[in-house]
Structure 1
Amino acid sequence: MRCNLLSRFPVVYDTSFRLLSSLIRVSGGRCELRSFSRIPVMAPPALPAATVAYRCNSTVSATASEAAGNSISPKKKRVISGVQPTGTVHLGNYLGAIRNWVLLQETYETLFFIADLHAITLPYAVPQFAEATRNTAAIYLACGVDTSKASVFVQSHVHAHVELMWLLCCDMPTGQLNRMIQFKEKSRISGVENVGAGLLTYPVLMAADILLYQSDFVPVGEDQMQHLELTRELAEKMNSLYGGRKGKKLGGAGLFKVPEALIQPTGARVMSLTDGLSKMSKSSPSDMSRINLLDSKDVIANKIRRCKTDSYSGLEFDNPDRPECNNLLSIYQLITGRTKEEVAMECQSMSWGTFKTNFTEALVNHLLPIQARYEEITSDPAYLDQVLSQGAAKAAVIAEATLNSFYQAKGFLCR
């Protein structure tokens, strides 16, 4: 497969660059930022009807928007998200993140990246890494990410991610990182003395990913709130330490915007096919635990046929004693686009055999167009390379402006 997969907002991003450029001036050999106080602060715009299940944990008030002045046209709120390229993108990645990006790009200014820097915190397949990165980018596009509405790029292609991470790490207490749930869980498996420092500090890289683009919202699941909260705390700490009297630059937010959570729709957390209490994961040793987006019809049928079920009669949602049943029904609901009530009524008296047949057919039909589009994209490496190159260039405009401002705030010699 090949490389390239990003960029889609020549107009939106060029506008962002012009806005930032207009706020930068050089005086007496020093770079300064003019006030951002005239940029309106608005509550997040309403999503289309299909996405009303999203919930914004927003603390922005409508009064602040009115006070900023109604003469300025509202600017789209910015959303950023990414998926690691290790392993194969599976149904959980798709239903929990990528499919929702397609809806978000209609309302927000969106940046979607391939998180290759995050993927190396644990052992990974080096020879296949570049190809996996390209394949992940191709899947973004195949699932419906539109390069005219969103920017797609490879994380490592924008060097500001690593630079900002280092600047933030120097003010990040290690004790707080030691308490992060994922570090504790993953280091327990290998032993703290054997894991790399990247596993400890990757939440700071995650914070840099978000803060670098002055993101308003971050799509997260309930299980990811700890990392977003760390990002928010870091933003507030940096604003307090280095913002000073000139720190109120972004709508009153300081050096960095403090991002809000955009909670994923209910049911988007897809669980393992072999354990209804564990999240579907690339890191699971058994491929039978997940449906990969590029699995063939026969492979999908075999995985569903052998997935874990129970001996109860009929099928039902929300029974704590039947986690696998709830998981499979939830996936079926999502891929068919039907309501929970409709699926519950259809399946209440259904046997597992009949359901698995219907489920397999619905899932294969849902994934078929994605797989066909993926083949088209990967057959044209020049196109994929161009998308990724343009996306990285667009993202770098925003990233460099944020990074340079932070360097100056921390007292570095102006570049």
Structure 2
Amino acid sequence: MSVLKERVFSGVQPTGNLHLGNYLGAISRFVALQERFECIYCVVDMHAITVPQDPEALTRQIREVAAAFIASGVDPKNHIIFNQSQVAEHAELAWVLNCVARMGWMNRMTQFKEKASKDRENASLGLYAYPTLMAADILVYRANAVPVGEDQKQHLELTRDIAQKFNNDFASSIARNGFGDTFFPLPEPLIQGTSTRVMSLRDGTKKMSKSDPSDYSRINLTDDADAIAQKVRKAKTDPEPIPETVEELANRPEAENLVGIFATLADKPREAVLAEFAGNQFSVFKSALVDIVVAKLGPIGAEMQRLVADPAYIDSVLVDGSDRARVIARQTMDAVKDIVGFVRART
């Protein structure tokens, strides 16, 4: 079994309030990668339940994320859009990888420390172990690359460590089963564009988040033009004008964030944005930013609302994508069972 075309895997959690950070940091990149890669895009609903979820809301949010993929331009006929829980091989491989990963590696994962905070005794085992499920998500498709933001690089490094250890631990069995020197590829990070991390509109030192209690901290993909304009105009800035150089943004997190958002949406380097607006007050810059955000997100939000109103269509896309994903995942899982030494049914 070999991967003939480079394959990309990525996923988005269905935890509500998809926002500009999700779009710029992930979904818009999914669209761009379609031209060069075989793409598998997943609504990672099994990751979502590592913390409590309302079941009815989760169903709605799974469909919303799928709608965002499609509305943004991901082609569900030529690429795969599915939800994780429909492909059981994710969980099946995760258990094998749990037995490969080391406790020391898991203890170093910063996101568990952040999410569990001081209440670690009440955190779920799933929250602690979910990095191995994330590794399984990628490795079950033997993906070559993963589009990630800076904050996800640690998880991809763990995935590479697990893949390397599996390849080393089972080297003789991998060769004996006809897979050559290695079985799992070591997936590479794809970090693209001018803005890989979008920050809160209320605090430029914090990532834009679905969970922030203030809706003014983020621009939701479904916000209308008036809401977008109000949020951008209320976005925190400092009293200094727009600087001339990128270096001058270094200690101005809110200014740096807004310039980065503009640059990414305009598909321009930050230097070009600063050259256009240098010396202007933020009121002038924000007016231009409103225009470009509305122009980019308005059609996506409208299409998302149309798609969400047709859940039967969304479900058909997810079922079709899951069926196609399962074919790939089953091949990998059958091979893993042979490599590990399990006895399995053969047809």
Instruction: Report the TM-score, using the length of structure 2 for normalisation.
Output: 0.93
**What per-residue deviation string (whole Å, max 9, x for no partner) do you get for residues 286-328 of structure 1?**
2211111101222212211211100113345442221110110
- Distance between the aligned counterparts of 1:205 and 1:349, measured in 2? 49
C-alpha deviation, 1:95, in angstroms: 0.5
Contact 1:249 1:255 in 2 (8 A): no
- Distance, in Å, in 1 between the alignment partners of 2:267 and 2:250 is 24
1:80 aligned partner: 9
SS in 1 for 2:27: helix
| Residue ranges of structure 1 left out of the alignment (5+ in a row) | 1-19, 21-35, 40-74
Number of residue-to-residue matches in the alignment: 343
Counterpart CA distance in 2 for 1:357 and 1:213 is 44
Matched, 1:147 2:147: no
Q: How does 1:306-325 map to 2 (within 5 A)?
A: 306-315=234-243, 317-318=246-247, 319-325=249-255
2:135 counterpart of 1:204: no
Question: Does the 8 Å CA contact 1:248/1:255 hold for their aligned counterparts?
Answer: no
Matching residue within 216, 220, 226 for 1:298: 226
Residues 331 and 250 of structure 1: CA distance in aligned 2, closer, same or farther (over 3 Å) = farther
Q: Which residue of 1 aligns with 2:32?
A: 103
Task: Show the counterpart of 1:231.
Answer: 159
Distance between the aligned counterparts of 2:66 and 2:317, measured in 1?
Answer: 9
What residue number does 1:179 align with? 108
Over 3 Å counting, the alpha-carbon distance change for 1:164 and 1:246 in structure 2 is closer
Check conservation: 1:250, 1:256, Cα contact below 8 A. Answer: no
Q: 2:199 aligns with which of 261, 271, 283?
A: 271
Distance in structure 2 (CA, Å) of the matches to 1:105 and 1:398:
18
Deviations 1:323-359 (A, max 9, x none): 1101101111222233433311221121121222221
Instruction: Report what 1:127 is aligned to.
Output: 56
| Cα deviation digits, residues 136-192 of structure 1 (max 9, x gap) | 100100000012331100011101101111111123222321111111122224x11
Is the counterpart of residue 163 in structure 1 residue 92 in structure 2? Answer: yes
Cα distance between partner residues in 1 of 2:128 and 2:260: 34
**2: CA distance between counterparts of 1:136 and 1:313?**
37
Distance (whole Å) between structure 2 residues aligned to residue 175 and residue 314 of structure 1: 46
Unaligned runs of 5+ in 2: none
Question: Which residue pairs with 1:370 in the alignment?
Answer: 300
For 1:35-114, list aligned pairs within 5 A.
75-114=4-43
Over the matched positions of the two proteins, sequence identity in percent amounts to: 45
* Correspondence list, 1:378-397, <5 A: 378-397=308-327
In structure 1, what is the Cα distance between the partners aligned to 2:114 and 2:310? 41
Give the Cα separation in 2 of the matches to 1:126 and 1:306: 34
Residue 260 (structure 2) aligns with: 330
Greater mean alpha carbon deviation, residues 204-213 or residues 124-133? 124-133
Cα distance, 1:253 vs structure 2: 5.3
Single out whichever of 237-246 and 295-304 deviates more from structure 2.
Answer: 237-246
Distance 2:136 2:316 in 1: 25
Larger Rg: 1
Deviation >4 Å, runs of 4+: 248-253
Displacement, 1:362? 1.6
2:242 corresponds to 1:242? no
Q: 1:391 to 1:323 in 2, by over 3 A?
A: same
| Residue 262 (structure 1) aligned with residue 190 (structure 2) | yes
Question: Kindly tell me: are residues 408 and 250 of structure 1, through their superposed partners in 2, closer, same or farther at Cα, counting changes over 3 Å?
Answer: closer
1:7-26 to 2 correspondence within 5 Å?
20=1
What is the alpha-carbon distance in structure 2 between the residues aligned to residue 250 and residue 152 of structure 1? Answer: 31
